[in-house]
Amino acid sequence: MIYYIMINITAFIDYGRDKKKAQHDEWRISENHLLNLSIFGGALGALAGMKYFHHKTRKPRFWVINIIMMILHLCILISLSQIHPQNLTH
């Protein structure tokens, strides 16, 4: 569970960092990096970052991948909690 919390915080922060870099015409965080955060468990943080920072909201690929990955990882967490409830507390 700590992993999911950390990767979602990282995703949220990275979406904010990339938005700031875009506004200041600086070297950007790659789209692959942002999407990989979602694939590896940070989809909720990515979606929150998209909404909060108004970043990548016009790119359907980001919506689709983040929503699918959020559903997938929620299913994984639910499955783990039913098989081994201690997995979610440790």
Q: What is the pLDDT of residue 70?
A: 96
pLDDT band at 15 (very low <50, low <70, confident <90, very high): very high
List CB contacts of 67: < 8 A, sequence separation 6 or more. 43, 47
Q: What is the pLDDT of residue 82?
A: 83
Q: What is the pLDDT of residue 90?
A: 57
Measured distance CA(34)–CA(12) in Å, rounded: 10
Q: What is the pLDDT of residue 60?
A: 96
Measured distance CA(22)–CA(18) in Å, rounded: 6
Q: What is the pLDDT of residue 88?
A: 58
Asked if residue 1 has pLDDT above 90, the reply is: no
Q: What is the pLDDT of residue 45?
A: 97
Which of these, 37, 31, 50, lies nearest to 8 by C-alpha position?
Answer: 37
Measured distance CA(14)–CA(35) in Å, rounded: 11
Q: What is the pLDDT of residues 27-85, one digit of tens each?
A: 999 999 999 999 999 999 999 999 999 999 999 999 999 999 999 999 998 888 887 65
